[in-house]
Amino acid sequence: MEGMTFIVKTITKLLIGAIFLFAIYITFYGHLTPGGGFAGGIMLACGFILLTLAFGKKMSLGKLSDFWASLIDNLGAITFWSIGMLGYLSGYFFMNFIEKSNPFGLFSSGTILISNIAICLKVGSSIFAVFLALTIFGRFISDLIASEDED
Amino acid sequence: MLILFYALLIFCIVGSIIAIEIRNILASVIAAGAVGMALSILFLFLGAPDIAITQVVVEIIVLIVLIRSTVSLDNTSPTKHRDTFAILSSLIFFGLFLVFAFMAFQGLPKFGEPLMKVASNYLRDSVTQTGASNVVMGIILDYRAYDTLGEATVIFTAILGSFVVLRAKGKKRKEESDRVKVGIPDKEDLPKTLIEVEE
């Protein structure tokens, strides 16, 4: 059986939705309450790492492979940079060009919400990618031995 | 409340010393994790919930990754040798640092009364100018967004570097001389538990 015991798998099934939901809440309400894109992104990565530890590599790589993780990482970085460049449309670099409404609403602060989402995607996928790279590195020695055995 | 604050501060220092001095690497990692948790409560005392949340989450990730990478290795208790000259010189320089820091910190303004008055402007105008009721987010993603772009670039470059260094498949073909150069042992020399875990 791949992964951990039956108890861990059951608890993970119950908790994983709440973890992802809380990560998305922290990200989307970053400009209203404490939190933000960085903390939300690391919570997303935490959820994926929990999936990896509980159900094994195969299951979590099916949800988010290392190729898609690095792709989402790049997309988040490009989105954040282009928000800065779009500021030139109405003035200067990183100008808050979207109309601001009354405070304490979800869409009250213009580009800050979009920047938070971009940073969340970037940080979450990249931290998960580092975890994957470390586990791939663990496999490296045994892979080398296996390839030598074939020769 | 102040007593609790100083108790946590002393707990942090004691935990750090334990993390450095203890022989077992797994116990050292756990001690470092306890220090991180205490640090996040200290941030709450200082009125910085944003940093406290980030500290807790990052600490958990670091603990998981470190335990994952130390437990799978068999060699978790390295041998230790003392170097009296290094300890003596570092103690002397630490004492010098304390003396000069005591002299230098006399000239600083009191805690919470900065010389620069930018922060009071931010606190007054942040909600009307940026629309974000969380002033921290208003500063790091609106007034100081250029700094945050630099941070994102640092993370991006670090991830890119680790992916290049840690990838499993190289572009060159693996040869016998590479194995000797990197120092990877033969299968007979490896501890049995490592091979079993990886399979």
Smallest CA–CA distance from A106 into chain B, residue:
B132
Q: Report if residue A63 sits inside a domain.
A: yes
Which range of A17-31, A50-64, A123-137, B168-182 scores highest in mean pLDDT? It is A17-31
pLDDT at A148: 54
Range of A84's domain? 6-150
Task: Give the minimum alpha-carbon distance from B134 to chain A in angstroms, rounded to a whole number.
Answer: 5
Q: Which amino acid is at B75?
A: N
Count of structural domains within chain A: 1
Tell me whether B71 touches chain A (CB under 8 Å). Answer: no
A125 Cβ contact partners less than 8 Å away, ≥ 6 residues apart: A41, A44, A45, A64, A68, A69, A70, A72, A73, A76
- Residue B142 sits at the chain A interface (C-beta within 8 Å): yes
Residue among A93, A36, A104, A132 nearest B145 (CA): A93
Three-class HEC string of chain B: CHHHHHHHHHHHHHHHHHHHHCCCHHHHHHHHHHHHHHHHHHHHHCCCHHHHHHHHHHHHHHHHHHHHHHHCCCCCCCCCCCCHHHHHHHHHHHHHHHHHHHHHHCCCCCCCCCCCCHHHHHHHHHHHHHCCCCHHHHHHHHHCHHHHHHHHHHHHHHHHHHHHHHCCCCCCCCCHHHHHHHCCCCCCCCCHHHHHHHC
Chain B (5-34) residues lying within 8 Å, Cβ to Cβ, of chain A: none
- Say if the ipTM goes beyond 0.90: no
**Domain presence at residue A35:** yes
Cβ distance A39 to B57 less than 8 Å, yes or no, reads: yes
Tell me what pLDDT residue A141 has. Answer: 47
Closest Cα of chain A to B3: distance in Å? 26
pLDDT digits (tens, 9 = 90+) for A50-95: 998 898 877 888 888 878 888 999 999 999 999 989 888 888 888 8
**B102 in contact with chain A, both atoms CB, cutoff 8 A:** no
Instruction: Please check whether residue A1 lies inside any domain of the structure.
Output: no
